Amino acid sequence: MAEEKFDRGTALTIFGTDRHEDLVALAVSLVIALLVYLYV
């Protein structure tokens, strides 16, 4: 199916595992929160 085309991740995500993606999403959110906290 769709995965065949990708070494890593699936058609919907570039990350190998879901935990990884969730952590990246959390990291992005925290960075944004920090930037908002500091500069807005």
CB of 22 to another protein, least distance (A): 4
User: Taking CB under 8 A as the criterion, which residues in 1-40 touch another protein?
Assistant: 1-3, 5-19, 21-26, 28-30, 32-33, 36-37, 40
Asked if 13 contacts 21 with a C-beta cutoff of 8 angstroms, the reply is yes
Asked if 21 contacts 28 with a C-beta cutoff of 8 angstroms, the reply is no
Residue 13: CB atoms within 10 Å? 14
CB of 16 to another protein, least distance (A): 7
Query: What is the residue whose two structure tokens read 């595992």?
Result: 17
Query: Which residues are at the interface with another protein (CB under 8 A)?
Result: 1-3, 5-19, 21-26, 28-30, 32-33, 36-37, 40
